[in-house]
Amino acid sequence: MIHERRSVTIGVAGGTGSGKTTVAQTILSRVGPERIAHLEQDAYYRDLSHLPLEERAKLNFDHPDALETELLVAHIRQLIHGHAVEVPRYDFTTYTRLSQTRHVEPKPVILVEGILILAEKALRSLLDIKVYVDTDADLRLIRRLRRDLIERGRSIDSVISQYLETVRPMHLEFVEPSKRYADIIIPEGGYNRVALDMIVARIGEIGRDNPGGHQKGGGAPTWQREPQI
């Protein structure tokens, strides 16, 4: 008989600079990018083009309300159902969405990464594997400084001010508590090979043993295994 199954959904969460992207890239390379639909929560920040630039920079980007979670949830569901999605592209220097989008096709594995992935119940309910990358605060701050200075054109003072005023408080209020929902916790910044081996193995287990889908009525895409005789 032919076994039908839906996509395996994985969420990778953790504080800013924790190593989420390192984990995601490792999963992509180990499982194969051709088998993974990769969504980054950062792409779903709300467009702020209606506000003056100086007001945009003052907003709290580490609060769940800064993200259009409902769109991310809708996109995950569409991918589960076998439909392609158009993922927003976000400009972090102007805090606005670009007119161009990124086309993502449905794949056997859906990988979602972001600081608040596990803090949102609507997102958690769609995840088969929930991962939290746990890294010391001082290392995370250094990584964030490096990223924002090089990639986002920020000043040292603005990055430190934002960290103290919003990033750290929101981490303590939303991100750190979401760790309790994780199936797997990866310590020390995502370079734990044993934990990564566990994740890749778990993806394979769910792929073999998890027929069906989140949705009722047979709407989920079919990823067919070889017929078993």
Report, in angstroms and rounded to the nearest whole number, the Rg of the chain calculated over CA atoms.
18
pLDDT at 220: 39
Q: Is residue 41 part of a domain?
A: yes
Q: Is residue 227 part of a domain?
A: no
Q: What is the pLDDT of residues 90-122, one digit of tens each?
A: 998 899 999 999 999 999 999 999 999 999 999
CATH number, domain containing residue 42: 3.40.50.300
Q: What is the pLDDT of residues 209-219, one digit of tens each?
A: 554 443 333 34
Q: Is residue 44 part of a domain?
A: yes
Please give the tally of structural domains in the chain: 1
CA angle 20, 182, 145 (to 5 degrees): 25
Q: Is residue 91 part of a domain?
A: yes
Q: Is residue 165 part of a domain?
A: yes
pLDDT at 159: 84
pTM for the structure as a whole: 0.83
* Residues spanned by the domain of 25: 8-209
206-211 long-range contacts (CB < 8 A, ≥24 apart) are: 206/8, 206/128, 206/129, 207/5, 207/8, 207/108, 207/109, 210/5, 210/6, 210/8, 210/128, 211/3, 211/4, 211/5
Q: Is residue 61 part of a domain?
A: yes
Return the higher-pLDDT residue of 53 and 72.
72
pLDDT at 130: 96
Q: Is residue 229 part of a domain?
A: no
Of 84, 82, 88, whose CA–CA distance to 41 is shortest?
88
For 92, counting Cβ atoms within 10 Å of its Cβ (0-12 exposed, 13-18 middle, 19+ buried), the class is: middle
Q: What is the pLDDT of residues 26-44, one digit of tens each?
A: 999 999 999 999 999 999 9
Over range 183-188, report the average pLDDT.
88
Of the pLDDT bands very low, low, confident and very high (cuts 50, 70, 90), residue 3 is very low
Q: What are phi and psi of 216, to 5 degrees?
A: -90, 160
Q: Is residue 197 part of a domain?
A: yes
